[in-house]
Amino acid sequence: MSRSLLLLCLCLLSCGARAEVRLLTSIKPLQLIAAAVQDGVGRPEVLLPPGASPHHYALRPSDVQRVRDVELFYWVGEDLEGFLGKPLAGRAKPSVAVQALPGLRLRRFEAGGEAHETQAEHDQDHRPGSLDAHLWLLPANARVIAARMAADLAAADPAHAARYQANLDAFGERLQRLDARLSGELRAVADKPYFVFHEAYDYFESAYGLRHAGVFSVLGEVQPGARHVAAMRERLQRAGPSCVFSEPPLRPRLAETLTAGLPVRLAELDAMGAALEPTADGYESLLDTLARDLAACLNAL
């Protein structure tokens, strides 16, 4: 190694020590929570590209490298991003599986009931009885995750400890106000029927008194059999005017077949906030957008 290259490396190392803490999250919603805590100090990174499902993701070598390099790493845990188990074992620095944080309110997928009769055909992550890993959709859980991030950031970067704490407090206060507003707005649509293609919203629903009428489980692009489709259409027919929500980026091909000729509105819900920027209020936008998209469809029935 030449002398100038060596000097450059030394400079980069020492500059790195003074620069912002590199915080990486597995999925967008965790990045949005981190952005609230790091506001004005640093910019959190995210591993999964927009539109990628944490249920089925294959890490690239560059992803593995990022996971190993960053100072702080957050993921939901084994119940969501199982693909991270191995790369995290090779990581020297600590990482936080937020599903294990004390104070988090966790749900399990319910067993039985008509709404879940097709669940068994869905993937492993949504089986009745298993942990519902979409835990970021409960404002109280976001607050717990943010508190842990603020503590970790303050330890890694004591110079900004007061700022992280102030950001955390402000985030908590904004969440309280948002929560109160959404409770009011969603009460009006609580009794209107809707169906989802992905059982990802149970935390959000539990917070606002909502409940989906059913889940149309489809495994990726695999078309279910004719009998299965007929059974799903029958449930839609019985429900009367209702909304069916798919998730961006792709509307299942099944959606059109399923709803043709029925008084059903097709719309989208995005549990991942794929289109949102990691700004200080990004997490609030995630909840707000979910509420708005739900209400817009249900109010139009």
Q: Report the interface residues with Zn ion, using CB under 5 A.
A: 200
d(CA 168, CA 36): 7
Give the helix/strand (H/E) hosting 166: helix 161-187
Taking the complex as a whole, how short is the minimal distance between the CB of residue 161 and Zn ion, in angstroms?
Answer: 35
Taking the complex as a whole, how short is the minimal distance between the CB of residue 196 and Zn ion, in angstroms?
Answer: 10
Interaxial angle between packed helices 139-156 and 161-187, expressed in degrees from 0 to 180 and rounded to the nearest 10: 170
Taking the complex as a whole, how short is the minimal distance between the CB of residue 104 and Zn ion, in angstroms?
Answer: 17
Closer to Zn ion at the Cβ: 47 or 200? 200
Taking the complex as a whole, how short is the minimal distance between the CB of residue 123 and Zn ion, in angstroms?
Answer: 8
CA 263 to chain centroid: 30
Closer to Zn ion at the Cβ: 200 or 210? 200
Closer to Zn ion at the Cβ: 200 or 276? 200
**Pairing mode, strands 95-97 and 194-196:** unpaired
Q: Cβ-closest residue to Zn ion?
A: 200
Left (φ > 0), alpha (ψ -120 to 50) or beta: where does 96 sit? beta
d(CA 257, CA 261): 9
Closer to Zn ion at the Cβ: 50 or 241? 50
Taking the complex as a whole, how short is the minimal distance between the CB of residue 274 and Zn ion, in angstroms?
Answer: 14
Taking the complex as a whole, how short is the minimal distance between the CB of residue 46 and Zn ion, in angstroms?
Answer: 18
The residue assigned the tokens 């998209």 is 293
Contact predicate 28/279, CB 8 Å = no
d(CA 151, CA 133): 23
Closer to Zn ion at the Cβ: 264 or 271? 271
Contact predicate 266/259, CB 8 Å = yes
Closer to Zn ion at the Cβ: 202 or 281? 202
The sheet with strand 242-246 has its strands ordered as: 214-215, 194-196, 242-246, 264-268
